[in-house]
């Protein structure tokens, strides 16, 4: 089915995974609207913003280079990666998709053969192909090496994901102990815990300490999100220093179920979709 037109494929694929029919003329839930954005919101700048290297110039322009993690190198192909020149700790990322990360805490223990195999495998990843997430279409595969981030007293740094609707942050997903327990929970902008999650999340039952510079994080997220109907802006907060992570336009491919289910509609109401470009046909 991946060879079908995007609008047809997305409609069929969404119903297959969610059990819900998609009406492009009347998308209601948040997940419905994410599918709509895949098909009808095609601003060229999205290609830049999902590219983990190209997005850096956008962040620098909007909020300043001091919000960027230190970049060691960018490589056009795996053979260009010079491990001897990298520090003992670093992170390798594929710029052209998601879940393309290798975290190196001690270079001396790194399995170079396995690492090079993974890097070469990344070059053939096409995240537009399966989910038809338009922003990833034709993004050039590359690899970047960045500074390894660590925070005092934590094995893994917290990831703060700001869900922004029509330029305004509305709530935050706090992602803790990634690659360990993989815990998550949601807060509003006043740091009040929200009573929902999505399927297969390891929900954190306790309370997360409010970042002392939460207001700064909100301002950064808003400045980066101001021109888009929806975007998730991911930030780190390393010993009270805010750093940019990435921008995501289709979280979970718009397919995960909300628990309780009514929050799919509640969150969907936050998102006011733009008009369909003139002359573009809507399938029914």
Beta strands in the chain (DSSP E): 71-75, 90-94, 101-104, 143-146, 159-165, 168-176, 183-188, 197-198, 202-203, 230-238, 241-248, 258-259
The rounded distance, in Å, linking the Cα atoms of 187 and 171 is: 6
- pLDDT score of 127: 86
- pLDDT score of 124: 93
Q: Are 72 and 145 in contact (CB under 8 A)?
A: yes
Element at 36 (helix H, strand E): helix 30-40
The rounded distance, in Å, linking the Cα atoms of 103 and 14 is: 33
Query: For 40, phi and psi rounded to 5 degrees?
Result: -115, -10
- pLDDT score of 163: 98
The rounded distance, in Å, linking the Cα atoms of 18 and 257 is: 8
DSSP string, 59-121: HHHHT-GGGSPPEEEEESSGGG--GGGS-SSEEEEETTSSS-EEEES-GGG--HHHHHHHHHH
- pLDDT score of 280: 66
**pTM score:** 0.94
Structure-derived torsion over alpha carbons of residues 218, 223, 228, 232, reported in degrees to the nearest 10: -40
The rounded distance, in Å, linking the Cα atoms of 175 and 272 is: 26
**Along the 284 residues of the chain, how does pLDDT read in single tens digits?**
678 899 999 999 999 999 999 999 999 999 999 999 999 999 999 999 999 999 999 999 999 999 999 999 999 999 999 999 999 999 999 999 988 999 999 999 999 999 999 999 999 999 898 789 999 999 999 999 999 998 766 677 899 999 999 999 999 999 986 655 678 999 999 999 999 999 877 888 899 999 999 999 999 999 999 999 999 999 999 989 999 999 999 999 999 999 999 999 999 999 999 987 666 666 54
DSSP for residue 275: P
- pLDDT score of 182: 75
3-state secondary structure of 131: helix
- pLDDT score of 152: 64
| Burial class of residue 115 (count of CB atoms within 10 Å of its CB; 0-12, 13-18, 19+) | middle
| Domains present along the chain, CATH in parentheses | 6-268 (3.30.470)
């Amino acid at each position: 089915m991946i060879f079908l037109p995007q609008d047809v494929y997305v409609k069929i694929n969404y119903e297959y995974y969610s059990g819900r029919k998609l009406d492009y003329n009347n998308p209601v839930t948040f997940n419905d609207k994410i599918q709509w954005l895949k098909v009808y919101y095609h601003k060229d700048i999205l290609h830049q913003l999902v590219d983990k290297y190209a997005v850096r110039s956008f962040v620098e322009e909007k909020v300043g280079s001091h919000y960027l993690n230190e970049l060691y190198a960018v490589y056009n192909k795996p053979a260009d990666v010079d491990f001897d020149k990298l520090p003992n700790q670093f992170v390798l990322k594929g710029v052209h998709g998601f879940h393309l990360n290798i975290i190196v805490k001690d270079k001396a223990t790194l399995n170079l053969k396995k690492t090079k195999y993974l890097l070469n495998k990344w070059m053939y990843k096409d995240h537009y192909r399966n989910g038809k997430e338009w922003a990833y279409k034709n993004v050039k595969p590359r690899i970047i090496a960045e500074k390894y981030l660590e925070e005092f007293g934590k094995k893994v740094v917290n990831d703060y994901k700001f869900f922004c609707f029509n330029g305004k942050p509305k709530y935050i997903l706090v992602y803790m102990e990634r690659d360990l327990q993989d815990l998550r929970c949601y807060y509003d902008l006043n740091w009040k815990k929200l009573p929902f999650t999505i399927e297969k999340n390891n929900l954190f039952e306790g309370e997360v300490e409010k970042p002392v510079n939460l207001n700064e994080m909100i301002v950064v997220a808003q400045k980066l999100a101001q021109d888009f109907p929806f975007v998730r802006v991911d930030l780190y907060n390393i010993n009270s220093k805010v750093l940019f992570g990435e921008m995501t336009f289709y979280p979970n491919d718009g397919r995960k179920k909300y628990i309780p289910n009514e929050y799919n509609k509640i969150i969907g109401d936050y998102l006011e979709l733009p008009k369909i470009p003139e002359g573009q046909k809507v399938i029914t």
